Chain A
């Protein structure tokens, strides 16, 4: 239901406040989502990949702080760093040296742990194809009005992300999974953040609408880790997520910061790699998308002392194409992307090569074999 405010000013006495309310209310309901979900995945195990778990847990912490409840967060951690035998501070995971911030906390709820974090489980969570016995905490129960934040971290390469040292997910699979989500009406808008080496390759193949993607490095670049902690003996965080966390610490549920500020997080001088983002599939202008649209779960409540006259017929503030009713057909979107052609050598070249091979063969072994051919 889109609530719009009547433009009529005659009813209210304090008519100079009405336009302000109108604008505020209009912006208030401009995003179109009613609930928020987050899927946070750390894909690497082993003690020396401590920083990936710390990355994921710090995003988890921010997302929880800004209001998304545990029931709407699917947290997947491939290894247990807090209780690893090598952890000199058991039951903690620190994100900053000098142990300023313990992101493990007291109330972390890990939904997929250890060997349960596999490509199959991840894709099943996204697409909803889970066996009936799966508990609610392990399901992504989103609907067509959900804004979903997906955060992936681990070791990656050009076009793939490594899960658990034994398998990979490719960017094509990921794009297809998101397309399945679109067709099953499982999201309203989706923000995809990835912090791995060559992360930008993972969002190259997306083709479903309403996707916005951020990555910590371009193809051919490595994402670097931030700082080691000498007491614990490992790197604690990756640079991109470190500066992302710093940025998010300043966000509170009423912040009006928008996505353009998020794109500026961790410039090359701090990150060494070049973070990238992709907004061509997203139908709203990134400048009008609030951070809290994805990172927080903001209740649509505003206290006002004014009465608002709703007797006039409700009409749309603007005609925007962000509802499923008006969705663009998928095939049009696919054809807007340039098709990637593989290079084949020209046909004449192959013909010439075979002629050369045949000639050499006959020269070497004598022309008498030729009569067997013709």
Chain B
């Protein structure tokens, strides 16, 4: 007889499963965590290499000469910015036209759902200015974008200056096969969102913008430049975009290749590479770099102005110039040459970047881990859920009806919907009643939703459904945003595995709260600050936590980030189901 159809063998398998379930679950959990930590170990990673044939090696001669002039332009921009109290639109239009670009502007305005305390804005109005350098001999079918943000105060003046300097230099060359769009966006991400929506004729976030008068072709790649000092010591590459999406790895490879060719120090996550991978400190350095990337990707927010391009399948990255206390300084001409080289190579592209990986983790700028290597870590955690589900299935005496589980599911999801909609609705009311700022009102309304249900069905059925639901949810999340899925799995899988009505209630309730998504976020905030070597006290940490939640909600309404709805509408109801299983009578 077959293995599963023979009743004796079947009983033996089932008893094996029930007996060994907990040990296997524990072993799988440890293995998953160990696999994840092992990803940063250098022998398990691959060196980065250029996959796209068209970009080949870095064999172009960069000749950008005008770094000093770019700095002068930057100073002029700063003066005009101070005078205009925002974006100096007329000056920018005039300067770009003088450099031979076709200049257009776009006005946009947005009323945030509640005031943003971090950036102190509520009613946002602004103008984007962009100039198009038409390719001399090519049809206008493809474009590349170079953008610099117009930030209030003293930052990013040199970025705009360098952008204008490069525009002038590029205008004199005849080898451009794609249009190059030089964009200066106001109010960083909001302006960028308005520009992208206008360029692609979509309106997903309800922003108000004037249509774009001029257009290049379809955008193949984009770089966002942030430079706030006259000399820099290193260049930092930022890859994480909206919803944890990453650009094609070839863009990072291109940046790294040119950094090596020109001899500029390049970092990722602000950390330099180290050669001593076999020492403990070297390994922990890689782990820190990788964990920073995981944290940033899990938050689902765009970490640079490039983050919004990725949604339109445009590979984009942000390059930040950092001036720290190192001896060797790089001047603006060298940065200009680096960008010139990158753009010349991007110019050679015939199709969108698609040869290299879209899903990867980088423990350092020269090494990466692809999806095939990191997914088993998550798979080991998901196996625990499946084992538990099997265990519950064989313990069920009779097969349950579907309708009996429907009630608790619906009620949990209704709570989730309440969590999603109420904070915004009631923040006005809360502000009037209580002496809290709007952001705090939102956040405090969001905390503390616990619903006790009395359910009249066996708890096993509910747990089976909950465990499978969690498995599917985490699986889908991990596919799109691996970091978010993995972090949620790390905390929620133990919850799902051990909770039954028979464990000690108080202790389990405490552990459940500790492992809930809200507390996970709190710990992540502290952990993130530790990783960046800027540890915070508990007070500051709590305020940071509140601001993170409010930023998350704002991101969702402004740019369409999916982390907040995911947590509120799907993960939280799932957690609630387990809470209810714990308190089942």
Mark A residues whose CB is within 8 Å of B.
46-48, 84-88, 90, 228, 230-231, 233-235
Contacts and interface: CB of A to CB of B under 8 A. Distances in A.
B347 A48 contact: no
A254 B481 CA distance: 72
A47 B61 contact: no
A228 B60 CA distance: 9
A218 B165 CA distance: 50
B177 A48 contact: no
Interface string B339-365: 000001001101000000000000000
Given A233-B60, A233-B348, A48 B173 contact: no
Interface stretch (B40-48, B50-58, B370-378, B440-448): B50-58
B452 interface: no
Interface in B65-96: none
B278 to A, nearest CB: 34
27 contacts: A46-B54, A47-B54, A47-B348, A47-B350, A48-B56, A48-B348, A85-B135, A85-B136, A85-B175, A85-B177, A86-B175, A86-B347, A86-B348, A87-B175, A88-B173, A88-B175, A228-B57, A228-B59, A230-B60, A230-B61, A233-B59, A233-B60, A233-B61, A233-B344, A233-B348, A234-B56, A235-B59
Given A46-B350, A85-B137, A88-B174, A231 B61 contact: yes
Contacts of A234: 56, 59
Nearest to B61: A230
Interface of B: 53-54, 56-57, 59-61, 135-138, 173-177, 344, 347-348, 350
A259 B136 CA distance: 47
B137 to A, nearest CB: 5
A301 B454 CA distance: 111
Contacts of B347: 86
B65 to A, nearest CB: 15
B177 A86 contact: yes
A78 to B, nearest CB: 14
A48 B53 contact: yes
A80 B175 CA distance: 15
B173 A85 contact: no
Contacts of A46: 54, 350
Contacts of B56: 48, 234
Contacts of B348: 47-48, 86, 233
Nearest to A46: B350
Contacts of B54: 46-48
B53 A90 contact: no
A85 B176 contact: yes
Contacts of B138: 85
Contacts of B175: 85-88, 233
A179 B173 CA distance: 51
B30 to A, nearest CB: 37
A47 B351 CA distance: 12
A197 B183 CA distance: 44
Contacts of B59: 228, 230, 233-235
A194 B230 CA distance: 54
Given A46-B54, A86-B348, A228-B57, 6 more contacts: A48-B54, A85-B137, A90-B174, A231-B61, A233-B60, A234-B59
Contacts of A235: 59
A231 B135 CA distance: 18
A228 B59 CA distance: 7
A84 B178 CA distance: 12
Contacts of A47: 54, 348, 350
A225 to B, nearest CB: 10
A164 to B, nearest CB: 13
A40 B347 CA distance: 30
A88 B173 CA distance: 8
Contacts of A230: 59-61
A233 B60 CA distance: 5
Nearest to B341: A233
Contacts of B60: 230, 233
Contacts of B344: 233
Instruction: List the 10 closest A-B pairs by CB distance, nearest first.
Output: A230-B61, A85-B177, A228-B59, A85-B138, A88-B175, A233-B60, A85-B137, A86-B177, A86-B175, A48-B54
A46 B52 CA distance: 13
A87 B344 CA distance: 12
A85 B139 CA distance: 9
A140 B365 CA distance: 55
A87 B137 CA distance: 10
Contacts of A88: 173-175
A292 B177 CA distance: 42
Most buried by A among B136, B138, B174, B344: B174
Contacts of A84: 177
A86 B175 CA distance: 4
Nearest to A230: B61
A150 B491 CA distance: 68
A87 B176 CA distance: 9
Nearest to A155: B53
B442 to A, nearest CB: 52
Most buried by B among A46, A86, A87, A230: A86
Contacts of A85: 135-138, 175-177
A87 B175 CA distance: 6
A118 B226 CA distance: 48
Contacts of A231: 61
B143 to A, nearest CB: 13
B458 to A, nearest CB: 39
A231 B174 CA distance: 12
Contacts of A87: 175
A86 B60 CA distance: 12
Nearest to A47: B348
Contacts of A48: 53-54, 56, 348
A146 B559 CA distance: 71
A184 B53 CA distance: 42
A230 B174 CA distance: 15
B178 to A, nearest CB: 9
Nearest to B349: A47
A249 to B, nearest CB: 26
B456 to A, nearest CB: 47
A226 to B, nearest CB: 12
Contacts of A228: 57, 59
Contacts of A86: 175, 177, 347-348
B351 to A, nearest CB: 10
B551 to A, nearest CB: 43
A208 B124 CA distance: 79
B141 to A, nearest CB: 11
A231 B61 CA distance: 6
B346 to A, nearest CB: 11
Most buried by A among B59, B136, B177: B59
A47 B348 CA distance: 7
A87 B135 CA distance: 12
Nearest to A229: B59
Contacts of B53: 48
Contacts of B173: 88
A233 B176 CA distance: 12
Contacts of A90: 137, 174
A84 B137 CA distance: 9
A285 to B, nearest CB: 43
B217 to A, nearest CB: 13
Contacts of B61: 230-231, 233
B300 to A, nearest CB: 37
B64 to A, nearest CB: 14
Nearest to B350: A46
A341 to B, nearest CB: 38
A46 B138 CA distance: 15
Contacts of B57: 228
A48 B173 CA distance: 19
A215 B16 CA distance: 65
Contacts of B174: 88, 90
A43 to B, nearest CB: 15
A11 B61 CA distance: 73
